[in-house]
Chains A and B, each alone.
Chain A
């Protein structure tokens, strides 16, 4: 008890929330219950009660959060994007989907097996060091959604180091504004002070900082069977595609595991081969897609998950979450620009 009081006495004056006045909750308890009960509820909650805009997770993160009950991320209200492009649009890109060599696609199984059979070593296999290192660039992921459904998000580059003992460091650099469609850019351009979807996106970079460890130990699946369990290979192909993205977000994936992964994907019905593509970094890769479809009677939203693999090493180069209905727009895109081991956090 004495120690606890000493800590309180020591830290109390530095408490950032010590004098914070907490604003009334934007949702009533009843609204929160409705939101919790409604698996397909929009994050903003019932109309009229919520704030004029909300920041939401879109793409894989949001989809993962709701897949267990709803199937597909429901992140948008119904928008009505119309009108001409404004004379002075807000600076920022409108994200376009990746173009395919084979638009209609063919079953991916044979192609993925062939790729798995010819993999060569890549940087994760050839590098050495105490830290796993990954550099990514993402579009979307965290977005501001207007009450009408118009979205605005940010491009950002992230570097992350993970030590073998589980400590983690991250460095995030905001690179600009992006929109999933022209109507959203038009909408937000008309606002003299467009809000920030993520406050960190409009601040200067902070440099490298340690971030919380994972709450559970991260361990790369040891063999194909364990990998299949980790990926939840019994689930539909669209979910398997998202788990693939999460696998690469969580680990440096060695060649053997990459081959196992491609073999598991090859055995899963629903993956479509689109041949050669060029990712947003200008790198050549090969692409597969899988549809993400909610259970019958639930959300009307449909999505397509795209995975771009390196044609020789089989590493994941890019991931795209494309909403295909009710709107056609990219909600999340990620490039894995560098993945290897290193001895330095810098």
Chain B
């Protein structure tokens, strides 16, 4: 447990306390249950400690990168994967009171998002949900800032096209059925 430079247990405890919830939320957005998201977060921070000399001063984009790689590796090598991207689940609605019209639009939005290519979905999630800047999203995606900006622009355009083309959801249930 030798520290690298100043990066000892105190440093790690600080970033763990600060960013553990962020990584769990990242997992919740891409996995099917909170247990799997918590597992993912633990794995990410195990990597963070082992590679602590590489963790930048602003660690969150780097941690998201590790989370993204961890998920991809599970898919690729495990095949028995945590199932990601539950975006089209009509039953998965916010756990708070939502007006029926708003609920329908959320279901439509998730379905539209799922209809996009995975690369489009990811840049939209990183900016729209993880609240990253384009520059930080570029770090996560391993591309240049300008490339990420173009991806985001095109993904947003495609999302709007899908939304515009979608018809009302026939099986969306009233909010009272869920809340």
Contacts and interface: CB of A to CB of B under 8 A. Distances in A.
Given A13-B105, A15-B29, A200 B81 contact: yes
B35 interface: yes
Given A4-B134, A32-B45, A215-B142, A198 B80 contact: yes
Contact of A57 (B78, B128, B153): B78
B68 A215 contact: yes
B156 A20 contact: no
B64 to A, nearest CB: 13
Contacts of B110: 14
A256 B175 CA distance: 59
Given A32-B12, A170-B81, 14 more contacts: A8-B128, A13-B106, A13-B109, A14-B87, A16-B28, A20-B25, A22-B21, A25-B20, A32-B49, A36-B49, A61-B77, A64-B77, A200-B81, A215-B69
A167 B121 CA distance: 13
Contact-residue size bin, chain A (C-beta under 8 Å from the other chain):
35 or more
Interface stretch (B53-61, B89-97, B165-173): B89-97
A120 to B, nearest CB: 28
Contacts, number: 181
A55 B118 contact: no
Contacts of A22: 20-21, 24-25, 34
B74 interface: yes
Interface residues of B, number: 74
Contacts of B142: 215
Nearest to B131: A8
A141 B42 CA distance: 19
A11 B152 contact: no
A209 B114 CA distance: 9
B50 interface: yes
B174 interface: no
Q: A10, A11, A60: which has the most chain B beta carbons within 10 Å?
A: A11
Interface in A158-190: 158, 167, 170, 172
Nearest to A37: B1
B159 A33 contact: no
B112 to A, nearest CB: 9
Contacts of A19: 94-96
Interface of B: 1, 9, 12-13, 16-17, 20-21, 24-26, 28-29, 32-36, 38-39, 41-42, 45-47, 49-50, 68-69, 71-72, 74-87, 92, 94-96, 102, 105-106, 109-110, 113-114, 117-119, 122, 124-125, 127-129, 131, 133-134, 142, 149, 152-153, 156, 159
Given A136-B79, A215-B69, A10 B74 contact: no
Contact of B129 (A11, A35, A140, A198): A11
A59 to B, nearest CB: 9
A16 B27 CA distance: 10
Contacts of A142: 78, 80-81
A290 to B, nearest CB: 18
